[in-house]
Amino acid sequence: MKEIYRVSVIGSGSWGTTLSDMFARNGIETTLYVRNKDLYKTMLQTSENSVYLKSIKLDKRLNLTNSLSFAVEKSDIIVISIPVKYLRQSLEALKGYVRDDHIFVSSSKGIENDTFFRPSEIINDVLSIDKDKIAVISGPNFAKEVARQLPSATVLASSNKNIARMLQQLFNNSYFRIYTSNDIKGVEICGALKNIIALASGISDGLNLGHNAKASLITRGIAEMTKFGLHFKAKKETFMGLAGIGDLVLTCTGDLSRNRKVGIEIVKKRDINRVLDSMVMVAEGVNTVKSVFEWSLKNGVDMPIAKGVYEILYNAKNPEDAVEELMKRPLKSEF
């Protein structure tokens, strides 16, 4: 392992910008790739991402570039922070610049429609990267709070213990505590499915169903997530940790949650397209629920919360009717 690493972050949304700023503050030579030329120029002038991370001044040591080849060639570690919906297309553009010694870290959360690939699987599929050189990071982390240097914890998963420990030491600091894991499947499944439950949580809040409903939804949500994960041989304990219940609680209750916000707005506008058109950032749960619901149908796995959210988003089901259907399901033992 090298002693000095250079990091490039691909994706200048709120999380990609936050991570790159944090790495620079850690003293790591860091480059953030900004695809949008207008945003790139503005960030050079103001040291601020006014579109995705307003009022946060970025570290002066952070390098910005509009050149993808420069960003990739200048790095040893490539952090991918791109919505899953656009991930494959973005990775295709990297193909000619990636080296065999590159280490990839995915911070993307979701499951690709059609292929049903997780982010690490998309990276491997497009770039043919050794799976031991792909890590994932996920946890209860609102970008704006991390950018403000408020205390946060997260999980970094890799099948390679040496790479996991190296990244843990490199990225960890006084306000961002990193735990390691070897359960890539579990961490990515948690990061994807918690957004579906957050959509349901927003719908619950939009309908003013109260705290009892919220607590019940979160609890049954983690049960549904765990059941799904076990089908893929993920580790049960991962769902009880930061990437699972930790991120689920945050996303279902926090006002900065995009997916919860979409759920609230769905109740008001009753039209998912109108809701999404009004948002700057991507709510990953909207695409993920389609993948997950279609998979559950094909494989005969009962996922009532995902089914209810899917019916509301894609079949214009009345949210009140979806709630009533959930409550009237056949009675059973909790475990």
Q: Which of 40-54, 159-173, 268-282, 321-335 has the lowest mean pLDDT?
A: 268-282
Residues 56, 146: Cα–Cα separation, whole Å:
11
**Position 313, amino acid:** L
Digit-coded pLDDT (tens) for 200-255: 999 999 999 999 999 999 999 999 999 999 999 999 999 999 999 999 999 999 99
Burial class (CB in 10 A: 0-12, 13-18, 19+), 210: exposed
Alpha-helix runs per DSSP H in the chain: 14-25, 37-46, 68-73, 84-92, 119-127, 143-147, 161-171, 184-206, 210-230, 236-239, 247-253, 258-269, 272-277, 285-299, 304-314, 319-327
Q: Report residue 11 as tokens.
A: 């994706």
Distance between terminal CA atoms of the chain?
Answer: 45
What pLDDT sits at residue 125? 97
> Regarding the domain delimited by 6-182, which CATH topology (the fold level of the hierarchy) does it fall under?
Rossmann fold (3.40.50)
What pLDDT sits at residue 4? 86
Digit-coded pLDDT (tens) for 145-170: 999 999 999 999 999 999 999 999 99
What pLDDT sits at residue 115? 94
Digit-coded pLDDT (tens) for 8-20: 999 999 999 999 9
Q: Which of 194, 261, 290, 307 is catalytic?
A: 194
Mean pLDDT score across all residues of the chain? 95
What pLDDT sits at residue 171? 96
The mean pLDDT of 86-90, rounded to a whole number, is: 96
What pLDDT sits at residue 322? 96
Please answer whether residues 123 and 327 qualify as being in contact, where contact means their C-beta atoms are separated by less than 8 angstroms. Answer: no
Does position 335 have pLDDT exceeding 90, yes or no? no
Digit-coded pLDDT (tens) for 249-295: 999 999 999 999 999 999 988 778 788 777 766 778 999 999 999 99
pTM of the model as a whole = 0.95
**Position 187, amino acid:** V
What pLDDT sits at residue 281? 65
What pLDDT sits at residue 296? 94
Beta bridge partners of 8: 31, 78
Q: Report residue 195 as tokens.
A: 């957004």
What pLDDT sits at residue 272? 80
Active-site residue flag, 332: no
The C-alpha angle 187, 250, 199, rounded to 5 degrees, equals 85
Nearest residue to 75 (alpha-carbon basis) of 21, 7, 134: 7
- Tell me yes or no: is domain 193-327 CATH 1.10.1040.10: yes
- Domain coordinates in residue numbering, the chain: 6-182, 193-327
CA atoms within 13 A on the CB side of 203: 30
Digit-coded pLDDT (tens) for 96-140: 999 999 999 999 999 999 999 999 999 999 999 999 999 999 999
Nearest residue to 190 (alpha-carbon basis) of 229, 237, 217: 229
